[in-house]
Structure 1
Amino acid sequence: MVRRFKRGTKYRRGSRTHGWGRVGQHRKSGGSGGKGMVGFHKHKWSLVMKYGESGTGWPFYGKHGFKQPPPISIEWRPINVGTLAELVKELKAEGKVREEGGKYVINLLELGFNKLLGGGTIDLPVIVYTPIASRTAVEKIEKAGGEVRIIHVIHR
């Protein structure tokens, strides 16, 4: 015959608390003053003051931060001018860079980058096609005898 109850339950019949202490323990959410954050403005306010940050109620109350919806935010993939200068020889060997009038022509979008930053130094004359470039990057490339050409791209 199939046993419908665990042995412990049968054993504890008639004991009132079934092994859960003297007074009313092991109940549902009624024993703890409500589920979750219920009562933080009422009967659990002392918990908010005790565990919240400096009596303000944080992190229990208020809005915290802002997250842009994915269609609005753009994933930036930057590269520094110094890193670009180091990559020119490798890219030329791979055929990803062409030479026009003694200047190397580089399209950053084809390389997987969408922003040119001004970190490092460059001494090669290059023509760089990029959607966005910082002011220092443009100055360094022009000082080396190159130029930056901004291309317009619809970001998705």
Structure 2
Amino acid sequence: MVRRFEKKARKYRGSRTHGWGRVGQHRKSGSSGGRGRSGLHKHKWSFVMKYAEDSSGYPFYGKHGFKQPETIVAARLGINVGELESMLDELVSKGLVQVVDGKYVVDLLKIGFNKLLGRGKVSKPMIVRAVWVSRKAEEKIRAAGGSVELVRGVVHG
């Protein structure tokens, strides 16, 4: 393998410091003023003033935002309208979907989904209840003579 730059260490054998000065430079974190963000309120303050946004200290100081615990964040489990339409007859036979006035009434939460997505074609009229619905999916269902109802107050699907 070709080396782009020659290794200087061979030339520095016997020089004790390898060009880094007299007393202990180029060692560990002491030469840079500490590891990570240590010293940003003391000897690295000029760095903070240069790179912080509007001298507020961001992103070096303070808490930024809130991360919700994963136990309370609902996973978005989506299904496309085309897949849903192909499953309709099977779901009716299982009793998970009802047919009322010629329209299929689908509660996505009963099937195990909570978001309706827009890929695929819709030809059968459906009334779909879901927590989240994409704009494209809603347009396709309305064009086929159905409607979309958003379920409110549900965190987990």
| TM-score, L = length of structure 1 | 0.57
The structure with more radius of gyration: 1
CA RMSD of aligned residues (A): 4.3
CA 1:74/1:149 → structure 2, altered by over 3 Å: closer, same or farther? closer
Structure 2, unpaired ranges of 5+? 1-9
User: For 2:21 and 2:77, how far apart are their aligned partners in 1?
Assistant: 63
Query: Which residue number corresponds to residue 66 of structure 2?
Result: 66
SS of 2:104's equivalent?
A: strand
Moved beyond 6 Å, runs of 4+: 151-154
Aligned length: 134
Query: Which residue number corresponds to residue 90 of structure 1?
Result: 86
Structure 1, unpaired ranges of 5+? 1-7
Query: Which residue number corresponds to residue 155 of structure 1?
Result: 156
CA 1:33/1:147 → structure 2, altered by over 3 Å: closer, same or farther? closer
Cα distance, 1:41 vs structure 2: 1.0
User: Is it true that 1:28 corresponds to 2:28 in the alignment?
Assistant: yes
User: For 1:147 and 1:40, how far apart are their aligned partners in 2?
Assistant: 54
CA 1:100/1:50 → structure 2, altered by over 3 Å: closer, same or farther? closer
CA 1:49/1:87 → structure 2, altered by over 3 Å: closer, same or farther? same
What pairs with 1:110-149 in structure 2 (closer than 5 Å)?
Answer: 111-115=111-115, 124-130=124-130, 132=131, 144=145
